[in-house]
Structure 1
Amino acid sequence: MHLFYTPDIKSTIYQLNEEESKHCIRVLRLKVGDKVNLIDGKGGFYLAEIISDHPKRTELHIVEAQQEYAKRNHYLHIAVAPTKNIDRFEWFLEKATEIGIDEITPIICDRSERKEVKTDRSNKIITTAIKQSLKAYHPLLNPQQSFREFISKAKADVKYIAHCEENQKSAIKEGFKKQLNYLVLIGPEGDFSTTEIELALQSGFVPITLGESRLRTETAALEACFEINYLNRC
């Protein structure tokens, strides 16, 4: 199945951009009459036929459209501190997209070693992941924010903070309610500071544990992503 990300579909005739046209015609060697699939990142999944195989402006005719394709029954937002090694953060973006996530916010914390994320590059990784995993929804990647800025306006039905301090914490599955809007905070390699944890608790975040092992930032974020998706499927 040949799949293209086409976020600006507005009619039954669509022209691929130059890069996608070249990939379609020169690399995949598709031609007039061949069928391809399109996703718009907003839940639309389309079957289209090539009507012009120009390598710079390939034209398609949309012959079938499905809306809310494979829509999940919940909304998941993970706010995570970018890792010092950016490859690990990008690995999280890819795998979380494949599993299922709606929104990601890079947060800069007291102990963060990385202070910047390249949004354009990160979005390309997410786009590649939705195409690979046949997702019709493109996760929203927000600009990086300071922890305190983020906490001051964070909203969700259920808000979790995963941290390593020896305070009372519960597993996500304890008292879990399905089909809600969830927000999870994941800290940097050195964990959230005590002040940050207190601020989160004061803002209504529930402290959670992700198991007995001490997890890397990107692993903890992916574990939370997996658990919430799994519990909503049970």
Structure 2
Amino acid sequence: MEQTIFFTPDILSNTELPTEEAQHCIKVLRKKEGDKVFLTDGKGYFYDAEIIQANPKHCIVNILEAIKEPKGWDFNLQIAFAPTKNMDRVEWFAEKATEIGIDCLSPILCQHSERKEIKPQRIEKILVSAMKQSQKALLPELNDMQTFTHFIGQKFEGKKFIAHCYPHEKKLLKEVYNKGENALILIGPEGDFSEKEVEMALSNGFQPISLGESRLRTETAALAACHAIHVLNW
């Protein structure tokens, strides 16, 4: 049976549950003093703990054991994507990618982007919820939105790919990715990257890839890329 996991990012320095988690623990689940609870800091650790003060606003616990939880994959995976106009699709991708396993999500602003900004607070809540639901102890990093030009100039230790729809020479992801390699994959907006952006990416060490014959929506392509990397590592 799955345990309810409470997200406590600062548990080593503050043994009081965040207000929202405390309310769920005490008011919804009706936990009492002396009850055991299961926590994660989102940094790779689970914690067995005991409630010593059962208050929905100030729930304090005592850590009984810290448990290092393996990440579940031995590579670093980052997806950089242009957020869609419909934020529900962005949130869907963030949720499902977390369930599958991802290290970092990077929203990027491209020439053809319909959405120019995002509010990270909502996505961060979805990442936390998906992490807990999928019984993981690692919370993916969510970067601030950056321009495409600024983002592609940053260093990344691993293979860098760009998925686009232009009829340039491209190989399937499975043909250019090797098991165990770190991977950074660029996924463009609904109108695709501009040709200039593709050229800029190539000049910055990105390899052009295809995700198959079908033309995919942004969020579908991003999730397909995420899942493909995991499949190629099985």
Aligned twin of 1:93: 94
Report deviation, 1:18: 2.5
- Checking the alignment, whether the CA contact within 8 Å between 2:80 and 2:185 is kept in structure 1 is yes
SS in 2 for 1:173: helix
- Checking the alignment, whether the CA contact within 8 Å between 2:159 and 2:177 is kept in structure 1 is no
| Aligned-partner residue type, residue 3 of structure 1 | I
- Checking the alignment, whether the CA contact within 8 Å between 1:103 and 1:140 is kept in structure 2 is yes
After superposition, give the CA deviation of every residue in 1:210-233 in whole Å (9 maximum; x if it has no partner).
11111000000000000001211x
After the TM superposition, which parts of structure 1 deviate over 4 Å for at least 4 consecutive aligned residues? none
Paired with 2:53 and 2:154, the residues of 1 have a C-alpha distance of 48
SS in 2 for 1:42: coil
| Aligned-partner residue type, residue 211 of structure 2 | L
Aligned twin of 1:9: 11
Report deviation, 1:113: 0.4
Report deviation, 1:154: 4.2
Aligned twin of 1:126: 127
Give the TM-score taking structure 1 as reference length: 0.95
Paired with 2:211 and 2:31, the residues of 1 have a C-alpha distance of 46
Paired with 1:104 and 1:183, the residues of 2 have a C-alpha distance of 10
Aligned twin of 1:109: 110
Report deviation, 1:64: 1.8
After superposition, give the CA deviation of every residue in 1:115-145 in whole Å (9 maximum; x if it has no partner).
0010111111111111111111111111101
Give the TM-score taking structure 2 as reference length: 0.95
Aligned twin of 1:228: 229
- Of 154-163 and 184-193, the range deviating more from structure 2: 154-163
Alignment of 1:50-89 (within 5 A): 50-89=51-90
Aligned twin of 2:199: 198
Paired with 1:220 and 1:19, the residues of 2 have a C-alpha distance of 33
| Aligned-partner residue type, residue 143 of structure 2 | N
Using the aligned pairs only, state the percent identity. 56
Report deviation, 1:57: 1.0
- Checking the alignment, whether the CA contact within 8 Å between 1:163 and 1:208 is kept in structure 2 is yes
- Checking the alignment, whether the CA contact within 8 Å between 1:48 and 1:62 is kept in structure 2 is yes
| Aligned-partner residue type, residue 9 of structure 2 | P
Paired with 1:62 and 1:224, the residues of 2 have a C-alpha distance of 38
After superposition, give the CA deviation of every residue in 1:151-170 in whole Å (9 maximum; x if it has no partner).
12242310000000111111
Aligned twin of 1:164: 165
- Checking the alignment, whether the CA contact within 8 Å between 1:163 and 1:192 is kept in structure 2 is yes
Paired with 1:15 and 1:36, the residues of 2 have a C-alpha distance of 12
**RMSD over aligned Cα, in angstroms?**
1.3
Aligned twin of 1:35: 36
The count of aligned residue pairs is 232
- Checking the alignment, whether the CA contact within 8 Å between 1:78 and 1:185 is kept in structure 2 is yes
